[in-house]
Each structure stands twice: as structure tokens, then as C-alpha cells.
Amino acid sequence: MEIFAQRVKELRKERKKTQTEMAQYLKIGLRAYQYYESATNYPNIPGLLKLADYFEVTTDYLLGRSPERK
């Protein structure tokens, strides 16, 4: 799911947040967050929902199921 990694990275950069800040927000380790952006691992469902809420997008957008953010 390369699209997930691309979208999370793009959204993070739009908000001018660092990977460290995102990891702290999600209450996970920095390396775990970096895995999200490298498409190595993915968040669990609560983590996915937290990302969608933070970036104010739908989970379908994050997962590449919709081109619409809202």
C-alpha cells in the first residue's frame, strides 16, 4: 500500500510536522512511524482513525480508496 505511505508523508509535510512529532502524537516510537512512511508497516485501526482525525481526511483517502480528502 504505497499510496498510504505517500499520503501520510504528504499530509505531514503540509502540516509542517516532523516524523518525531507525529510519533509522539500517535504515542508510538519514531521507527514505527517511519515504517508507515516507508510502506514497511501500517497502523492498527485505532492508529488509522487517529491519523485520519488529525489530518482531517477520511480513512478511505489514507488507504487510497478515494481521491477525495473529505
**pLDDT tens per residue across span 6-38:** 999 999 999 999 999 999 999 999 999 999 999
Cβ atoms within 10 Å of 57's Cβ, excluding its own: 18
The reported pLDDT for the residue numbered 32 is: 97
* Predicted pLDDT at 1: 77
DSSP single-letter state for residue 40: S
28-39 as b/e: b if 16+ CB within 10 A: beeeebebbbee
Quick check: 31 and 22 in contact, CB under 8 A?
Answer: no
